[in-house]
Amino acid sequence: MTTVIYTLGVVVFIIGIIASIALHELGHLLPARFFGVKVTQYFVGFGRTLWSRRRGELEYGLKAIPLGGYVKLVGMLPPDDKHGPDAVPDTNTGLFTQLAADARQAEYEHVTEADRRRLFYRKPWWQKLIIMAGGPVVNVILAFTMFLIVFAGFGVPTPTTTVAAVADCAITDTEAGRACTDNDPVAPAKKAGLKPGDTITAFDGQAISNWDELSQLIRDNKDRTTTISYRRDGTEHTEDITTSVLARASLDDPDSTVKVGFLGVTAEVEQRRHGVGTVLSTMGQYTKATGDLIVHLPQRMVEVAKAAVGDQRQDDGPISVVGASRVAGELVTTGNPTWSERAISLLLLLASINLFLALFNLVPLLPMDGGHIAGTLWEAVRRGIARLRRKPDPGFVDVAKMLPIAYGVGLLLILMSVILIYADIVNPVKLS
């Protein structure tokens, strides 16, 4: 049964990824057709075509390698400005210029005179911006929707200010689980007479509304004597209490420890629904973590490459679709979760991946969407400056000149994918 559930989790995850890719590309396709751009292909995947259909001038379908997708917008490369607005030069010298010339030739091979007004590069900059930003925006919307379903629909386990258990002694995180001895100091909560079921209402004279507030006040209290208020059987009590100082995991860096105040209580956890504010806060935290991962991606890829040949794999580093699929399988089987918990785990995983796809696609380098967005914004800026200075229109930004960078980035992405997939096979990230 576990194998069946594991496989089901992987299949559902892969379907979710394919749907996310399809909707991302739809985010480019729909505004492009709305603004009158000629679109000839809409495919999910790369490589050999598995299935396709044609509707009018648009061919759509699935390809063999589900690692992305594309929409063919005709006219993304403007003609060579040295040969007029509608001409493509026949010959070029130099490797890079030849690459650009070949790309232009392929771009305009099937363009007719009737298509001239429908070419992508001819559209106003704001329309091009909407078209190219449409994909990442769809991924953000998908992430928001999935987070909202989890937080507002299912609810998430949330620690409360009600005490679930009281520690007998004060010991560090690294010693957690061992039995207390006569040499261990008694936990401050036990000294104060706190019991399971008590609801803490104030600490150091400050009213408490959630566990995070209480936890932070305890940590900041160090070893000072203060007061704690709690409600037991409907009656309010207040006691003097002196917290201990112990080495605990840092909230900013879980791999390091800091000396903070210790009370010795464990919170009761209940399933609570949260609103849009929690969703936005969570997306902000994920965005910060994803941005950090992207900025340090070269360093993280070196760590992955070392892990592929035997080093320890970091559990917070980048993974491929293969690794993410294995994680999905483990999420729905580890710890014998309920079906709702399985659904929550998969939704959170897909939400985080959609947010990553949105942010990664906004990196201002071709062939990512962010490269085209950067070119579009630069076109708007330089045309605006020219108008203010009453200079001639500088024309369209020629993204063909950036094709060598696009090819280099593309090869780098392929190399990264190969390394990640290999590492995820021989030394995968494990949840436990």
The catalytic site residues sit at 25
Distance from the Cα of residue 26 to its chain's centroid? 19
**Calpha distance 55→53 (Å, rounded):** 7
Specify the 3-state DSSP secondary structure of 236: strand
How many whole angstroms separate alpha carbon 425 and alpha carbon 417? 12
Query: How does 305-314 read in b/e, with b if 16+ C-beta sit within 10 Å?
Result: bebbeeeebe
Enumerate the β-bridge partners of residue 58. Answer: 55
> How far is residue 113's CA from residue 359's CA, in Å, rounded to a whole number?
38
Q: Which residue has the tokens 């010339």?
A: 101
Rounded Cα gap, residues 134 and 372, in angstroms: 12
Can you read off the two tokens belonging to residue 348? 């959170």
Q: For residue 430, what are the CA distances in angstroms to 59, 72, 221, 326, 424?
A: 40, 38, 36, 8, 10
* b/e burial code for range 110-128 (CB count within 10 A of at least 16 → b): ebeeeeeebbbbbbebebb
- For 234, other C-beta atoms within 10 Å of its C-beta total 5
The answer to whether 173 touches 257, Cβ cutoff 8 Å, is: yes
For β-strands 225-232 and 235-242, DSSP reports them as antiparallel
- Spatial separation of the C-alpha atoms in residues 328 and 323, rounded to whole Å: 9
Which contacts qualify for 412-416: CB closer than 8 Å, 24 or more apart?
A: 416/301, 416/318
Instruction: Compute the residue count for the chain.
Output: 432
Would you tell me how many other CB atoms lie within 10 Å of the CB of residue 425?
13
State the DSSP code for 91: -
| DSSP labels, 161-208 | EEEEEE-SB---GGGTTSPP-TTSPBPHHHHTT--TT-EEEEETTEE-
On the CB side of 262, CA atoms within 13 Å amount to 21
